[in-house]
Structure 1
Amino acid sequence: MLDPRQLMRAKRWAQNPPSLKRVKLVFAAVALALIIVGLEHFGLWPDWAKAERIPRRF
């Protein structure tokens, strides 16, 4: 079921679409994120750039 807020947002986007610059920025950010995920998945991401979990102490 579609939320009425989503329909209102879609209506606003149809009436006032984002600029080409904004669309390119969003696609570039998504592409960069996918590249990083792919590199990490295949083990090509450097160890110094990986986040290590720090155990919480209570």
Structure 2
Amino acid sequence: MNFFWLLRMRRWVQNPPSKQRVILILVVIGICLALVAVERWIGWTEALSLPPGGPRMRPVF
């Protein structure tokens, strides 16, 4: 483990985040999990997918 992560954990213990910030983080994680579940069980629409092969890039000289 990196030393800076230990310092970051110490700072979080000394100054914990507010209740609103914790709720915000949990809501964002919940939305991400809901998107993963929809993509897993229902599928991904063709309109949101990239064409196979991706965009063609020309070399710039």
CA distance in 2, matches of 1:40, 1:15: 39
RCO higher in structure (CA 8 A, sep ≥6): 1
Runs of 4+ in 1 over 2 A off after TM superposition: none
Q: TM-score, normalised by structure 1?
A: 0.80
Alignment length (residue pairs): 55
Larger radius of gyration: 2
Percent identity reads: 31
Structure 2 alignment gaps of length 5 or more: none
1:35 match: 34
Structure 1 alignment gaps of length 5 or more: none
Q: Over aligned residues, Cα RMSD in angstroms?
A: 1.9
CA distance in 1, matches of 2:24, 2:43: 25
